[in-house]
Structure 1
């Protein structure tokens, strides 16, 4: 193998490594589908924005109507990540879950003057805010009222969020239903109102059985507020589990940052969660990103402590590419000096075959013309050796070869009876 071929092969290997590793650096900006600016999802998205900014990642928060619109934007690749309410189907779409991050209760606020029954199957002739178009609240409320058989017995309004709360406070509604974090900003005027009450639903276990993906959890007395005490007594409520989801080709380093941010944001003690309970793989009900799954199950690796986050997040990918190259390139560099010396020596040695052939020809009886032909061949070889460019450590071989040529030429001169040229 020629030296140039080896160098070319090493160059190709390094070029291949550079090509395979070209996507290691993550993008410096992502788009996050939240809900309305007055909603709990927006506040959560702002926390992600703040945390990812520590690593120089800009999070552009996209205002949406809610989970349904979030899902649509993710499906069309118009955003990179978003929050998705439990029960919103995402089968067959190019998105993955990064984990379940949040318990969202179904909160029912009522006008105290409306005498709304605690059993929702008895609701009749009520003005009910079911959530705006594109919101997850609307999907959940429509499903619940339909399964309870009361959807057609009441007047349903397409208001949600702050608009629904304002209408309820103004007496334009009897009931406003929200699927939201209990600390959502637009709920605070409702908690503080003397004309609106947080309804304690009866038969919550039976209601949950009728609403897919839901479960019953208890809001402790005073969990929302201790002054005044809200709720006044421990209150079972139907809840859904919200998921952090992303497009399936989201950069692994961004997935890593989002999952770690989710731990910081959602991992504290809360009304519905113990320390470290979220994020989790529980109730994900859709494909989960492989990197997120590994991080959720195994936690951070030691590489996170001393490598840049975008390398630590992909260390296995890096090693998968670099280790074979290391095993190939290091031995290659060890062989290169030997191969180089062999190549330099070979440039001289390849002439010895012809010199040796000329010596063998001299053992035969040749006429003067044949001898002069051999002499010309030796002169040509001598000129090639004399003009050969060799590094100083390898010139001695050329000198030795020329001395050998001189000895053969003297023998030819003896046969011709002349002095050596």
Structure 2
């Protein structure tokens, strides 16, 4: 025979179920309260991502140099390195650093990077001194740029002694051309009268010197290729000019540095040159627009390290890239990179993932500063939402009471009774947390009070 559950226990469970139907968390009100906070948080996060730390672009443009020139070839290496990190580098050919600078100075050219010879802005009118520092910045020097002067005839010790001669000073538009003009003019040598300045460089200039068509050739790192230097140094009657006034040039022109050609650098067997030879050099800087994304700045300098850090006849291993800036201020991001390297996320993660994490870290600021303190507003907002339902019923109750007092007709009283019943029915179906049961019973008591008051008034009127 089946056992019957005790009546009291069954009744308790039934009552509990019914209570659970009316008393509990008001999920709708809670959703509204939390939802407002979520919307505010979403707006803050959007602002943080789009304004504080936007995503780095996936395409950059660099103005390099003539096709197959040293810096055009090195720009191709940059392109391959950046490609590994999902960034496309467009390489533009140019006539040289002068055109690179002109493109960088023009925002409409959409050029982000360029190789620019230091000191060029001092001898060129391409960029106004009043405007270029505001829009451009340096990512550091990526190579040195020594000046080699080969000449025929008796030994010369000063550039002023080249007056009245035929000189190959580099092609128009090149940084070498501009710098050599500056140095010669400082020595009183102008391209007029007996002095002829020919815009030729590299092998053309070397052959002109060997054939006796020019008296001197001014060569820099891009045009002074090792086989040409060896060819010149081994030719009888051709000398390598020694800048005996090198210190004075460096003091006069701050963008210049001293450079020493080691003894035997071009021919160890024959010890050519036979003694250390002093010359001067500029540096080649990587210039960028000041809108360059910090993450890309790190990536580009890292690429420069791969391309320019090897030892050569002209530089020590690891000498470049370096935080040397002359005409433009060193980028704060570049300065930070040279000091401490890449941040932890970029050292340990792929570039695309590190970029995402770096941007997400920015969200910590609005979350900590705004969202966490804002959490304390959720309970009051939730309480207001729940109590507002009682407030609405109180408003309806007051309106009903005043309406029937103003017009105690039978018809109006019938409408009052019907609406009062509706309020009470809706109240009984209202789901709310148990913490607000006192408001629930208070409203029910007030409904009964209004009903009894109106009933007493009607009895008095009938008597």
Distance 1:227 1:46 in 2: 35
Paired position in structure 2 for 1:58: 88
Quickly say closer, same or farther: Cα 1:239–1:355, change in 2 above 3 A: same
Paired position in structure 1 for 2:199: 158
Paired position in structure 1 for 2:177: 138
Q: Does 1:86 align with 2:125?
A: no
Moved more, 330-339 or 88-97: 330-339
Q: Does 1:14 align with 2:53?
A: no
Distance 1:244 1:198 in 2: 33
Q: CA deviation at 1:227?
A: 6.2
User: Is contact 2:33–2:378 with CA below 8 Å preserved after alignment?
Assistant: no
Q: Where in structure 2 are the equivalents of 1:104-183 lying within 5 Å?
A: 104-110=145-151, 114=153, 117-151=156-190, 152=192, 153-180=194-221
Paired position in structure 1 for 2:276: 234
Distance 2:312 2:229 in 1: 21
User: Is contact 2:37–2:371 with CA below 8 Å preserved after alignment?
Assistant: no
Q: Where in structure 2 are the equivalents of 1:161-240 lying within 5 Å?
A: 161-180=202-221, 186=225, 188-192=227-231, 194-195=234-235, 197=238, 199-205=240-246, 206-209=248-251, 211=253, 213-223=255-265, 226=268, 230-240=272-282
Quickly say closer, same or farther: Cα 1:221–1:58, change in 2 above 3 A: farther
- What is the count of residue pairs matched by the alignment? 410
Distance 2:65 2:432 in 1: 73
Paired position in structure 2 for 1:24: 54
- The one-character-per-residue Cα deviations of 1:318-341 (angstroms, maximum 9, x if unpaired) are 655541234322454575477446
- The one-character-per-residue Cα deviations of 1:108-163 (angstroms, maximum 9, x if unpaired) are 1345xx55635432224432111111111011111111112233442210113444
TM-score by length of 1: 0.78
Q: CA deviation at 1:295?
A: 1.8
Distance 1:101 1:208 in 2: 20
Quickly say closer, same or farther: Cα 1:409–1:11, change in 2 above 3 A: closer
User: Is contact 2:345–2:358 with CA below 8 Å preserved after alignment?
Assistant: no
Rg larger in 1 or in 2? Answer: 2
What's the secondary structure of 2:149's corresponding residue? strand
What's the secondary structure of 1:351's corresponding residue? helix
What's the secondary structure of 1:241's corresponding residue? strand
Q: Does 1:262 align with 2:304?
A: yes
User: Is contact 2:55–2:355 with CA below 8 Å preserved after alignment?
Assistant: no
Q: CA deviation at 1:169?
A: 4.9
TM-score by length of 2: 0.72
What's the secondary structure of 1:21's corresponding residue? helix
Quickly say closer, same or farther: Cα 1:187–1:271, change in 2 above 3 A: closer
Question: Structure 2: any 5+ residue segments left out of the alignment?
Answer: 1-28, 122-126
- Root-mean-square deviation over aligned CA pairs: 4.4
User: Is contact 1:118–1:201 with CA below 8 Å preserved after alignment?
Assistant: yes
Question: Structure 1: any 5+ residue segments left out of the alignment?
Answer: none
Quickly say closer, same or farther: Cα 1:411–1:150, change in 2 above 3 A: closer
Paired position in structure 1 for 2:295: 253
Distance 1:393 1:167 in 2: 101
Distance 1:285 1:316 in 2: 31
Distance 1:242 1:228 in 2: 32
User: Is contact 1:121–1:148 with CA below 8 Å preserved after alignment?
Assistant: yes
- The one-character-per-residue Cα deviations of 1:206-236 (angstroms, maximum 9, x if unpaired) are 4545555212121223445646755443222
What's the secondary structure of 2:120's corresponding residue? coil
Q: CA deviation at 1:173?
A: 2.8
Paired position in structure 2 for 1:46: 76
Moved more, 302-311 or 141-150: 302-311
User: Is contact 1:25–1:310 with CA below 8 Å preserved after alignment?
Assistant: no
